[in-house]
Amino acid sequence: MPEQDYRLNDAEVMDFVVKGYLVLKPEFPEGFNEYCYEECARATADSNPGDSILELVPKLHDVWGHPMVRGALVSLVGEDFQMSGHRHCHVNPPGTRSQGWHQDGTNQRHHKVRTVLGFYYPQDTSADLGPTMIVPGTHFRNCPTDRMATYAHFRDQVALTCEAGTVAITHYDIWHGASRNQGDRVRYMLKFLFSRQGDPAAPSWRHDPEAAAEHAHILAARSAACGQSDHYKERGLRREMWNHLLGAGAA
C-alpha cells in the first residue's frame, strides 16, 4: 500500500492563509507524550536550557518527523525547509499571570509564508491550564508589542485548548501569548521554528487547480472581527500570500 500523503489540500492551505494557523492531532506511540512531559520537567528543573532542549530531549525530533506534521510543514514552507537552531520549552507553572500579547516575527513587511512556528503540547491543555491564546488573521497586521501589551482580550481570540500530542502550526507573525495557569500542574509548550529556503516555484501541497477554484471562497470570507475597509485590504493580502505559495512570479 502506498504511504499516506499527509501534505495539505488546497482548502487547508487557504484556511492557513486566512487564519494564520492550523491544528494537527498526530498519533504518537503509547506513552510518548507522557515521556516528553517528564523529560521537559527534568530538563527545565534547575534552569531553562533554551535552545539545548532538543539535545536534552532528543525524542522531540519525533514530533517534527511525524508524517502528518512534516506533511503540513512541507506544504507551507517547502520540501527543503529547515528547522531553526532557536527553540524553546515554554514553562507555564500554576499561578502565573498571562503573558502579554506579542508577535514573534520581526515585523518585516511582506505577505509570504517564510517562517512558521510549531507548538507541541505534551499534556492535555484545558482552558484553566494556561493555553496559548491567538488572534486569527493577525499575521497580516504588524503591531508593536508595547502597543498591544495593554490589551487583555481581543474579540475572536482563540484559546488553543487541546489534547496531549497536539501540534499547532502558526505564521511567524500571528499575535499570541500564553494565558495564566489556574490549574494544578505545569503546562509545557515546545516552540520550534521552520523556514523556507527560497521562494516557491510551484505548490508544495496536494494542489489541484479545480479544487482550488471550488474553494476560492475561503480566501474571501471574513475571518475575525475587523472593519469593512480592513477586510478589503486583508483579502488582497491573502491573495498575495496564496499567489506566492503557488509559485506565481517564479522564473
Q: Closer CB to Fe ion, residue 14 or residue 54?
A: 54
Binding span for Fe ion by CB under 5 A among 5-13, 50-58, 72-80, 104-112: 104-112
Among the listed residues 62, 104, 124, 199, the single contact to Fe ion using CB under 5 A = 104
Q: What are 49's three cell numbers?
A: 536550557
Number of shown-chain residues binding Fe ion (CB under 5 A):
1
Q: Closer CB to Fe ion, residue 104 or residue 230?
A: 104
Measured CA angle at 189 (ends 99, 46), to 5 deg: 85
Q: Is 130 left (phi over 0), alpha (psi -120 to 50) or beta?
A: left
Binding span for Fe ion by CB under 5 A among 27-35, 68-76, 100-108, 130-138: 100-108
Measured from each CB, the residue nearest to Fe ion is 104
Q: Any contact of residue 128 with Fe ion (CB under 5 A)?
A: no
Binding span for Fe ion by CB under 5 A among 98-106, 144-152, 158-166, 238-246: 98-106
Give yes or no for a contact between 175 and 138, defined as CB atoms under 8 angstroms apart.
Answer: yes
Q: Any contact of residue 143 with Fe ion (CB under 5 A)?
A: no
Q: Closer CB to Fe ion, residue 104 or residue 199?
A: 104
Q: Closer CB to Fe ion, residue 158 or residue 246?
A: 158
Q: Write out the residues near Fe ion by the rule CB under 5 A.
A: 104
